[in-house]
Amino acid sequence: MKLTENALTVLRKRYFMKNDQGEVIENWEQLVDRVATNISSGDKKKKARYAKLLDSGYFLPNSPTLMNAGNDLQQLSACFVLPVEDSMESIFDAIKNAALIHKSGGGTGFSFSKLREANARVRTTNGVSSGPLSFLKVFNSATEAVKQGGTRRGANMAVLNVNHPQIMEFITCKEDTSELTNFNISVGITEEFMNSVYSDSDYELISPHTNEVTDKLNAREVFNLIVEMAHKNGEPGIVFIDRINEHNPTPHVGEIESTNPCGEQPLLPNEACNLGSINLANLYEKTFDWDTLKEVVYDSVEFLDDVINQSQFPLPEIDEMVKSNRKIGLGVMGWADLLYKMKISYNSDEAVSLAEEMMEFIDYHAKVKSMQLASAGSFPNFEGSVYQTGNLKRESKHLDWEKLNVEIAKNGIRNATVTTIAPTGTISMISNTSSGIEPQFSLVYVKNVMDGEKLLYINPHFEQAVKEAGIFSQELMEKVSDLGSVAHMEEIPQAIKELFVTSHDISPEWHIRMQAAFQKYVDNAVSKTINFNRDASKEAIQIAYELSYELGCKGVTVYRDGSRENQVLNVGNKLEEKETEDIVNVMPRKRPDITTGITQKIETGCGHLYVTVNSDSEGPCEVFTQMGKVGGCASAQLEAIARLTSLSLRSNIKLESIIKQIRGIRCPSPMWHKGKVITSCADGLAKSLETFLNISSDSLHDIEKINSDVSTVTHHSGSKQSGTCPDCGSAIEHSEGCLKCNSCGWSKC
């Protein structure tokens, strides 16, 4: 496989093996050999086939398999769900087990729906319950303390059913985005609840401890609160839990209660699943190669099934459940790039129709291969499953599902599930293609490199199109980067604008229609973010939720651009332009003779940095900096930054906007300061300004109160997400339920 420099950066940082000194001791060919050797378990013919598959550019497994196959850890699955029963022992067992999973490189999902509500009686202690929300905070703190496999923080999903007595508190529990930063949250939506929403009627809240009705709520009001919170900051998401269980392949084994952190993998308690994705874009050259796709599906299914055999799970209960159901999740990546190559607009009936056909083909042939593998034995829970009873629910479009149903019931099948559409953040970067089934977020990215230099990464299909049109230039690409889209650029031909749509060019309806098209032929679920423009109304999000339910989705995640105070990725400069569009010939106000302020000490890689922020009657008006005993260039540059900051403040530029511009700038000498990394002197100044911003105005003359405020700000802001990558300083985006950096591969779900 031809690797880009970006792909090699990701591989060196996160996938290639390292020695005890942290030095890379592996290259791509050696990684392929390591993984193929391990998963084939020494079978030479199979090893050769797997090595060819991995190096073909057509398929890659999930990150834990690439990272851990053939090393001491040997934990190869990405997705886990753990049970949380209504006892102190079960709760803290789940915390301990989650820590083991995070340490081994996996993400965990939990349902807190069985925990009795707050203030419910606990007979064993004659006390009262703390409730699920208090324990959710304990889980979050435990996750914060565990570094996941040395590569990324642990990620969690918390699900609470809509009929739980504390559902209203759960819906609003992430209104403050500095809380529960290691959790995605979703409400488990039932069919009964949705029927009550449509009839604008009440529904019952039921205590999980006593099964008694504790209250009734108006379903439409609860639904509106979910919409309001999602409009505000993107959470909670919703999972249609009854619909998920309607498609549960082993209902005789148990009920599905939760999903993995990104929502695409519903699992039974103590179950795990390993995933892999096919790069569809690489299968198109003038025409789409359906024959090669079938071969890739067959090899990929066998590879993923063998991953189960080679996996060492962190708990015996998980090992038993996984090997009883043998779930795998084969999905796709490169969908947006495939549409670019085929000259099909993402937001079109043609694209939606192709999505159905493509996923039906993959799902059908994945099951054919899994049936063939059943010659070595079906998954142990086959008896009583939907396959054994011939109840696999598939609508026949292009292929004979009825015949396959009969054959599987007769011959068995190796895997309880075979298909999943997962986030493919880093493996799609290795493959140099678009993530999952998401549209491209932007056609041109700015990549930060050493010494502050910025390079443009241009989507290769877009670059080819503008070159063929004879309009390519560096200036044009920089403009596309600033705007984030070509939709309103007069310089771009209409045909190119219609084809090269990005996330925010596409209406939510088309996002949902695409998700629903893939979901029709996916066993598990689909990871997808429904992007909304900044000015989207609550009603638009409500309609999107209802449409996702009506079209058969198993869950939905929405994100309104700019809705979080820690905006993940602002495309272009429209926000700044809007704030200043009415300001003409800005003249900074005069500095008064006397100002008041505070001085803070910040540790940087260059030494002690002292930052003084002074205010006049209208607010902060000037900044002074002093860098210990250091002189020369560092002090000169800091003085320049301080002077420009002061000028900006007296010109009514918001302090938040200044912070945003200088926060995250990196230098070769980062330094830890009060639990946070200071990436440069400029970043230290930004953090100092941020602290000043959060100090209450009535305490500016009270030193003890200031120090108290600073301590509080430091404590609460330490885990906030930034709009820039903490590793490389490039912009990060919100996609597939995760934060991800397209420059270095950093991700957080």
Strands (DSSP E) contained in 229-319 are 237-240, 258-259, 266-267, 271-279, 284-285, 287-288
CA distance 17 to 38: 15
Catalytic-role residue among 6, 248, 260, 614 = 260
Q: What are the DSSP calls for 558-609, one per residue?
A: EEETT-STT-S---TTHHHHHHHTT--S--PPPPPS--EEEEEEEEETTEEE
Q: Of 290, 319, 322, nearest to 305 (Cα)?
A: 322
What is each CA distance from 305 to 148, 364, 668, in whole angstroms? 25, 16, 44
Q: Crossing angle for the helix pair 703-717 and 681-694, nearest 10 degrees?
A: 110
Please tell me whether residue 377 adopts helix, strand or coil conformation.
coil
What is each CA distance from 113 to 125, 188, 192, in whole angstroms? 22, 9, 17
Task: Look up 264 and say whether it is catalytic.
Answer: yes
CA distance 260 to 736: 12
Do 419 and 368 form a contact (C-beta atoms < 8 A)? Answer: no
CA distance 436 to 427: 10
557-588: string of b/e by CB count within 10 Å (b at 16+)?
bbbbbbbbeebbbbbbeebeeeeeeeeeeeee
**Beta partners for 623?**
613
- As given in the structure block, the two tokens for residue 538 are 């609550």
CB within 8 Å of 325: residues ≥ 6 apart? 249, 250, 253, 268, 271, 379, 380, 381, 415, 416, 417
Catalytic-role residue among 79, 163, 184, 262 = 262
**Beta partners for 665?**
none
The tokens 């509106």 sit on which residue?
A: 224
Q: Of 313, 302, 244, nearest to 526 (Cα)?
A: 244
Do 525 and 264 form a contact (C-beta atoms < 8 A)? Answer: yes
H helix intervals, 15-75: 28-40, 44-55, 63-68
CA distance 355 to 350: 9
Do 542 and 224 form a contact (C-beta atoms < 8 A)? Answer: yes
CB within 8 Å of 443: residues ≥ 6 apart? 458, 459, 462, 480, 485, 486, 500, 502
CB within 8 Å of 309: residues ≥ 6 apart? 41
The values of phi and psi at residue 492, to 5°, are -95, 130
CA distance 152 to 261: 14
Task: Look up 621 and say whether it is catalytic.
Answer: no
Task: Look up 79 and say whether it is catalytic.
Answer: no
Catalytic-role residue among 235, 257, 264, 736 = 264
Q: Kindly report the number of other CB atoms within 10 A of residue 316's CB atom.
A: 9
Task: Report, as residue numbers or ranges, the catalytic residues.
Answer: 260, 262, 264
